[in-house]
Amino acid sequence: MRRKSVSYARFGYIFCIPFVIAFLIFQLYPIIFTTVLAFTDYKGLNVTEWHFLDNPFANFEYVFKNPSFSTSLKNTVIIWTINFIPQILLALLLTAWFTSRRNKIKGQGAFKILFYMPNIITAATIAILFNSLFAYPVSPVNDLLTTLGLSKEPINFPTKMWISKGIVAFIQFWMWYGYTMIILIAGVLGINPELFEAAEIDGANGRQVFFRITLPNIRTIMLFTLVTSMVGGLNMFDIPKLYLNGGPSSSTLTTSLFIYNQAFSGSYRYNTASAASLIMFIIIGILSAFTFFIMRDKDAAKLRKLEKKVKKDLKKAEQAAKGAA
Amino acid sequence: MVMKKKKSATVYLVVKYIICVLLALLSILPFYIMFVNATRSTVEIQQHAISFIPSKYLSNNWAILDGKNFNALRGFANSVIVSTGATICTVYFSSLTAYAIMAYQWRLRNAFFTFILCIMILPAQVTSVGFYQMIYKVGFTNSFLPLILPAIAAPGTVFFMRQYLQATLSIDIVNSARIDGAGEFGIFNRIVIPIMKPAIATQAIFAFVTNWNSLFIPMILLTNNKKHTMPIMVSLLRGDIYKTEFGSIYLGLSLTVLPLFIIYFLLSKYIIAGVALGGVKE
């Protein structure tokens, strides 16, 4: 009987084969290929030959010296930050309201559905929609401003650098705060209700409960939101590309857009695009590792270590017992 | 004192409702303006770009779009093919992989699961140059296969499916099917897949929407305009040929999101529940 159960193990391997093959072909190979290209002279349309460069880091030097790259990196960080801080604050506020045990908000379901809605709509469509909403001279926003008398004449939004950055950040904020809110609410609902009951008995007010119990208990989920938002933010492409194509004067140029422009939009500089991709890859890796490190739950890590040790000891004991038998 | 406290609590509640209603309006308004303007003529929009009453130029705007080679039906069909194909690949093979991790005791399974967690955050753009070059070399640009087949390896979905199986799969059912003489692959298809239906439905919705909305990779691979998907067609609406055709731009935008709105309002309950489940990853 025991022998038979062992023989099933091979199906574990067999059933993973499609996943592994697809991963190797469509993810691992492109990563390796991108890495290799970053050290070559591969550029130009319909070129199939490439050679390794004498100075292996020439492409990286090119990228770092390229003012567009540093601008795009700066823009990406700025746009992500001015989208994420209000996003997480609003999401936390709404989470506090929607999970409050004292005064329940009615119609929560409908609010959640509407707040989350922009997230599933095609980003490309939203970018062009906002391009139309803020167009000059004829656009709904300008119509609203002049009709309400807030502005005497239409404002030329597409030429304003900081306003454009702000609009791109706003679109990101608007598309994602509902998602963040739902995830945080799920986190709060997962907290042991006894904690809240105990706090209430101890006479804690709403604010105290939120800061002393709710927040510390959703730390891991906030970390998850932070990391996914950061990775997504560093890859922001659809919206800056289609809102104003990185303009005006590169004020909404992001790193993904920089890579796209290098490789796929007329210049065919596959080698420097690969180098820029690798730089982004490393930045993303370092940032995620760093956030995991500073926000890691120290007690949980200790517990896990202990658990591992106990398991090891158990195994040893088992083996010893077997040996003895 | 108590009265005052009660009064301030009521005020606070009213403030909460006002903010929630304003945020809800913020979600609706851009799309409402878009749908209304899709029915208005360029002249009407030039006079007043905001209107809450639909006009009667819908078929006119449609004719303009059609005349400019905006073939909405073909784009729609292409998007449906890509999204459906990718969705089927994602949910089927992710279920299979998750089942392999959950149901069998093989030596590398913990290592494999850790590996899946690690590749979960790998963004597609970072590998785009290598991906494009590979597809270009084998001559598969302008084919839907490079957009569909990579969906077989979807680490995030595998993770979700594993969590679901962990909670629902009882190995006794599998064992009794074995005693009845069912093969391992048959057990997966006839017993495990039906058990996983709720999880498959949730993940299918997300996979479909993600693929429907995807722009970056389709845009660099599909250069033939007969193969364009909806988001690529939308991206062309920004071009010069539409400069003054305001009504038809709004119509083009509306057409791309109409299916999403229908899916969303039919399935919003499951979608919201799915988002909430996906977040609790500890």
Give the mean model confidence (pLDDT) for residues A134-143. 89
First to last CA, chain B: 45
A260-309 pLDDT per residue, tens: 999 988 788 999 999 999 999 999 888 878 777 766 666 666 777 777 77
Q: In chain A, which residue ranges form alpha helices assigned H by DSSP?
A: 2-7, 9-23, 29-37, 58-65, 67-99, 108-120, 123-133, 140-147, 161-189, 193-201, 206-209, 215-217, 219-234, 238-244, 255-264, 270-295, 298-324
The pLDDT, as a whole number, for residue A2 is: 46
Q: Which of A1-5, A61-65, A100-104, A154-158 has the lowest mean pLDDT?
A: A1-5
DSSP B92-138: HHHHHHHHHHHH---TTHHHHHHHHHHHTT--SGGGHHHHHHHHHHT
What is the average pLDDT score of chain B?
A: 89
Q: Which of A132, A144, A259 sits opposite B249 (nearest CB)?
A: A132
Over 50: is that where the pLDDT of B93 sits? yes
Contact check, Cβ <8 Å, B231/A125:
yes
Looking at per-residue confidence, does A311 or A61 come out higher?
A: A61
Q: Which of B31, B49, B275 sits opposite A143 (nearest CB)?
A: B49
- Shortest Cα distance, chain A CAs vs residue B260, angstroms: 7
**Residue given tokens 């609410």 in the structure block:** A185
Name the residue among A46, A30, A47 with its Cα closest to residue A38. A30
| Cβ contacts of B49 on chain A, cutoff 8 Å | 138-140, 142-143
CA distances from A77 to A159, A254, A267 (A): 21, 9, 25
Window 124-163 of B, Cβ < 8 Å to A: 124-134, 137, 146, 149-153, 158
Q: Treating both helix axes as pointing N-terminal to C-terminal, what angle do B155-168 and B109-119 enclose, rounded to 10 degrees? A: 130
Distance CA A9, CA A79 (A): 49
pLDDT tier for residue B241 given thresholds of 50, 70 and 90: confident
pLDDT tier for residue B282 given thresholds of 50, 70 and 90: very low
Distance CA B144, CA B159 (A): 26
The pLDDT, as a whole number, for residue A39 is: 94
- Shortest Cα distance, chain A CAs vs residue B206, angstroms: 9
B112-131 pLDDT per residue, tens: 988 888 787 777 677 889 99
- Shortest Cα distance, chain B CAs vs residue A180, angstroms: 9
The pLDDT, as a whole number, for residue A14 is: 93
Question: In percent, how much of chain A has pLDDT > 90?
Answer: 54
The pLDDT, as a whole number, for residue A227 is: 84
The pLDDT, as a whole number, for residue A296 is: 63
Q: Which helix (H) or strand (E) holds B90?
A: helix B72-103
pLDDT tier for residue A89 given thresholds of 50, 70 and 90: very high
The pLDDT, as a whole number, for residue A308 is: 78
Looking at per-residue confidence, does B179 or A288 come out higher?
A: B179
A205-225 pLDDT per residue, tens: 888 888 888 999 898 888 888
Nearest residue of A to residue B113, measured between CA atoms: A16
B210 C-beta neighbours (distance < 10 Å), count: 17
Contact check, Cβ <8 Å, A120/B249:
no
Torsion angle defined by CA atoms of residues B248, B253, B259 and B260, in that order, rounded to the nearest 10 degrees: -160
Looking at per-residue confidence, does A208 or A85 come out higher?
A: A85
SS3 state of residue B238: coil
Over 70: is that where the pLDDT of B14 sits? yes
Q: Which of B107, B215, B278 sits opposite A123 (nearest CB)?
A: B215
B40-67 pLDDT per residue, tens: 998 888 888 888 888 888 888 898 888 8
The pLDDT, as a whole number, for residue B1 is: 53
pLDDT tier for residue A46 given thresholds of 50, 70 and 90: confident
| Cβ contacts of A140 on chain B, cutoff 8 Å | 33, 37, 49-50
- Shortest Cα distance, chain B CAs vs residue A124, angstroms: 6
